[in-house]
Structure 1
Amino acid sequence: MTGTFLYFAYGSNLLRQRLTLQNPSAVFQGVGHLKNFRLDFKSPSDPKGSRWRGGAATIEPHPEGTVWGVIWMLDIKDKSSLDRQEGIYDAINVDIISPDNKIYSNCRTYVMQKDYITDRYDNRPSPNYKDVLVRGAQQNNIPQTYIEFLQTLEDNGYSGNIPVYNQVLDSLKQS
């Protein structure tokens, strides 16, 4: 199989260094927004045992919502890696609108599977996860009002070690 696909990232993969840890072919295409959806956070398991030690980003339909993110082009060979990384999510195709009204059709993105959504746990993201979202939004010049929205999200206050966050920080130092 050869070719490429477009991917709309709205969570930790906003940050290039996070995405390219496991998907090295990613090439920035632009920023854009998804209409009629809103950003939410869900904790599919006890946050103490989750990858990011808190709620993970997902999107859900909302008639007045807008979710900003980054459009990446990836080589088809990275699709299975991306699917594994997004293991508790279902892939869907969405149309993304750039700031200059260009339409990116059929972008792959991910929505948390309903089987994993529960209210048993604290759904707030860890400060580290939130930091990666904010850094990614800033890195890619997502509109300032959306960056401010991300900065004001309440986090869960987790202060322990998060290995994936450490990998991201190491990658940022090298770039």
Structure 2
Amino acid sequence: MTELNGDHFNYFAYGSNLLKERIHVQIAGAEFISAGRLPHYELIFAGFGERWQGAAASVREKKGDEVWGCVWRVPNSFAAELDLQEGWYDRRTVSVETAAGPVACRTYVMREADGNENKPSPHYKLVIVNGAIEHALPPAYVDRLKKVEDNGYRGAVQVPISFLKSLL
């Protein structure tokens, strides 16, 4: 199974890169393909990232659970930039279920996430929720995201997303 397809690769985003405005900050060539489901994985928040002032999203295997996200078509010329953005994550190829059938995708899994769970900043959570809404992920999944407890941080973050100014 390979996520490569000629001059591009398929990328499964489940965190802040769900939001079109966010992914285009660094990966301007990304093109939305489809919503997708990663079966037998769960969404977790772990570590602490200076960029977002809170925990970051990751996935880990968990039978019976699922993670929804976006399949993006990314030009190979942006591969190094995406790897840099996901610096403390390991690249993995996964099979994502879409309306058109299974799609092999690159995704990223946080190194040493187990046992290091934490709360995301309200900014990060808001970007994820808005990305899920923007790409019509299932309402029950969006509700699950809305219920994630954040860390209450109210200062600035290092990612230029227009609607985040309301949190300052």
Q: What TM-score, normalized to structure 1?
A: 0.86
Q: Measure, in 2, the Cα distance between the counterparts of 1:97 and 1:87.
A: 26
Give the match for residue 147 of structure 2: 152
| CA-CA distance at 1:170 after TM superposition | 6.8
| CA-CA distance at 1:85 after TM superposition | 0.2
Amino acid at match of 1:113: R
Give the match for residue 28 of structure 1: 32
Give the match for residue 53 of structure 2: 53
Note the alpha carbon deviations across 1:45-81, whole angstroms, 9 max, x for none: 4x6xx11011000000101110000000010000000
Give the match for residue 108 of structure 2: 110
| CA-CA distance at 1:101 after TM superposition | 5.7
Q: Measure, in 2, the Cα distance between the counterparts of 1:170 and 1:159.
A: 14
Amino acid at match of 1:80: A
Q: Measure, in 1, the Cα distance between the counterparts of 2:71 and 2:123.
A: 23
Is residue 41 from structure 1 mapped to residue 56 from structure 2 by the alignment?
no
Task: Give the unaligned 5+ runs of structure 1.
Answer: none
Q: Measure, in 2, the Cα distance between the counterparts of 1:28 and 1:86.
A: 19
Q: Measure, in 1, the Cα distance between the counterparts of 2:92 and 2:12.
A: 10
Task: Give the unaligned 5+ runs of structure 2.
Answer: 1-5
| CA-CA distance at 1:118 after TM superposition | 5.7
Which of 131, 136, 149 is residue 126 of structure 2 equivalent to? Answer: 131
| Identity across matched positions, percent | 38
Greater share of strand residues, 1 or 2? Answer: 2
Q: What TM-score, normalized to structure 2?
A: 0.89
After the TM superposition, list the runs of 4 or more consecutive aligned residues in structure 1 that deviate by more than 6 angstroms.
none
Is residue 168 from structure 1 mapped to residue 161 from structure 2 by the alignment?
yes
| CA-CA distance at 1:169 after TM superposition | 1.4
SS at match of 1:20: helix
Give the match for residue 11 of structure 2: 7
Note the alpha carbon deviations across 1:88-145, whole angstroms, 9 max, x for none: 00000001001x361112x00000012x6664xx710000000000000000000111
Q: Measure, in 1, the Cα distance between the counterparts of 2:19 and 2:68.
A: 13
Greater share of helix residues, 1 or 2? Answer: 1
